Amino acid sequence: MKKLSHLNLDAPFFQAPLSGYTDQPMRILARQFGAPLTFSGLMLDKSVLAPGVLEKPHYAVIDQEHPVGAQLLGNDPDIMAQAARRLCDYGYDLVDLNFACPAPKVTQKQRGGFLLTQPDTALKITQQVRQAISCPLLLKLRIGYDRSSQSQENFWYICEQALAVGIDGLVIHGRTVQGRYRDRADWNIIAQVKKRFPHAFITGSGDIFTAEDVADKLAHYDIDAVLIARGAIGNPWIFPEARALTSHLPKPPPPSLTEQGQTMLHHLDMVLRLYPTRKAVPLFRKFCVHYCKRHPRRKKTQSALISAPDPDALRLTIRNCYGL
Ligand SMILES: Cc1cc2nc3c(=O)[nH]c(=O)nc-3n(C[C@H](O)[C@H](O)[C@H](O)COP(=O)(O)O)c2cc1C
């Protein structure tokens, strides 16, 4: 059992924040399949403070999800602190500050990964958010803005000073902001962070596509937990598989086609309950592309699923393709 502040987490891997994916249905599915903690996608501080926004499908949290972390994006320490307080009051169990996002539309507005070039602002935000909330606080950061020595200096300075103001842990994505997703994640730097701050809760992220990757990173890098990001899209089975391997138990057999189809129908139902049909169907198509990866006739199944125009057609196609 791992303890992250007062949260008891019974497995050392979490559902990562994934903007555009980790809405309530994906988080519930991850919890039902065995993720001990999930995160929302990034939420802009100003949006969180707008009236009624937290009740919208993108942000809503329900009882069966806990514990769930809210990921917060912004660059103004006062607004970030108010938004973090609002998220905790609303029911999120943890706040995670995003100093990682490499998307140009985010960095151009001096948010996300850009803040790795502004260590004083990053620390001011961290400090003010820490003072504003009592629920656990994490920072998610990449290993630098780029590979320059100034970037490395900023990275270590932010890690050290943020821990000194009392954050509860660091989530390190082992790529630079400029590296986006091109390079392989550098797990040696993630391990160095744990070595340098052995009492801090360190979670690593990058290139986790299978349960074997989860077990391998935990075994070799001496960190506290691993984020499962792209590896969990349309693949909730990665959670029971990772539970087995990290407990030194045999990996469960792959899900049968019937089980895959039933899970897709369950996921689709949750999506349809939360969103209007015109949003639900295109959203679920994104997941279909990933669910299909386990299907023996992947291409044919994918094209049938993504051309289904409405919920009834989608359900029927899932039943036909998965033998239900
Ligand atoms: C589509 C997509 C959306 C993402 N959204 C977020 C986000 O909202 N917040 C965040 O901190 N990281 C986000 N990430 C980064 C992931 O959480 C994770 O750190 C990254 O994908 C590295 O892990 P992987 O190589 O195992 O996928 C996103 C990644 C992807 C691919």
List, chain by chain if needed, residues with CB within 6 Å of any ligand 1 atom. Answer: 16-20, 41-42, 71, 98, 100-101, 140, 173, 205-208, 227, 229-231
State the closest ligand 1 atom to the C-alpha of 185, by its place in the atom list counted from 1. 25
Q: Of the CATH numbers 2.60.40.10, 3.40.640.10, 3.20.20.70, 3.30.1240.10, which one belongs to the domain with range 2-246?
A: 3.20.20.70
Q: Are 60 and 30 in contact (CB under 8 A)?
A: no
State the closest ligand 1 atom to the C-alpha of 213, by its place in the atom list counted from 1. 26
Residue 56's pLDDT is what? Answer: 84
Residue 60's pLDDT is what? Answer: 85
State the closest ligand 1 atom to the C-alpha of 16, by its place in the atom list counted from 1. 17
Residue 219's pLDDT is what? Answer: 97
CA-proximal residue: ligand 1, atom 13 (nearest): 18
Element at 126 (helix H, strand E): helix 119-132
Is this model's pTM higher than 0.95 or not?
yes
Measure 197 CA to ligand 1 centroid, in angstroms. Answer: 24
Domain boundaries, given as residue ranges, for the chain: 2-246, 257-321
Matching residue, tokens 């999506």? 271
State the closest ligand 1 atom to the C-alpha of 71, by its place in the atom list counted from 1. 9
Rounded Cα gap, residues 255 and 30, in angstroms: 15
State the closest ligand 1 atom to the C-alpha of 175, by its place in the atom list counted from 1. 22
Please provide the DSSP assignment of 206-223 as one string.
S---SHHHHHHHHHHH--
Q: Encode pLDDT of 63-83 as tens digits.
A: 989 999 999 999 999 999 999
CA–CA distances in Å: residue 97 to residues 74, 75, 244: 9, 10, 31
CA-proximal residue: ligand 1, atom 23 (nearest): 206
Measure 229 CA to ligand 1 centroid, in angstroms. Answer: 6
Measure 182 CA to ligand 1 centroid, in angstroms. Answer: 13
Mutate to test the pocket of ligand 1, among 106, 187, 205 (most ligand atoms within 8 A of CB): 205
Nearest to 205 by CA among 240, 170, 167: 170
Residue 163's pLDDT is what? Answer: 98
Query: Taking the chain (324 residues) in consecutive chunks of 10 residues, what is each chunk's mean pLDDT?
Result: 94 98 96 98 96 84 94 98 97 98 98 98 98 98 97 98 98 97 95 98 98 98 97 98 97 98 98 96 97 97 97 98 96
Q: Which two tokens stand for residue 275?
A: 């969103």
Strands, E, within the chain: which ranges?
2-4, 7-9, 13-15, 38-44, 68-73, 94-99, 137-142, 169-173, 201-205, 225-228
Q: Are 229 and 213 in contact (CB under 8 A)?
A: no
Residue 171's pLDDT is what? Answer: 98
Residue 43's pLDDT is what? Answer: 96
Rounded Cα gap, residues 34 and 77, in angstroms: 35
CA-proximal residue: ligand 1, atom 28 (nearest): 18
Cis ω for the linkage preceding 252 (within 30 of 0): no
Residue 55's pLDDT is what? Answer: 84
Rounded Cα gap, residues 205 and 45, in angstroms: 24
Mutate to test the pocket of ligand 1, among 172, 230, 286 (most ligand atoms within 8 A of CB): 230
Pairing of the two strands 38-44 and 68-73: parallel
Measure 323 CA to ligand 1 centroid, in angstroms. Answer: 33
Rounded Cα gap, residues 284 and 265, in angstroms: 10
Note if 321 is an active site residue.
Answer: no
Measure 235 CA to ligand 1 centroid, in angstroms. Answer: 15
Q: Which two tokens stand for residue 282?
A: 């295109």
CA–CA distances in Å: residue 154 to residues 19, 126, 147: 26, 15, 11
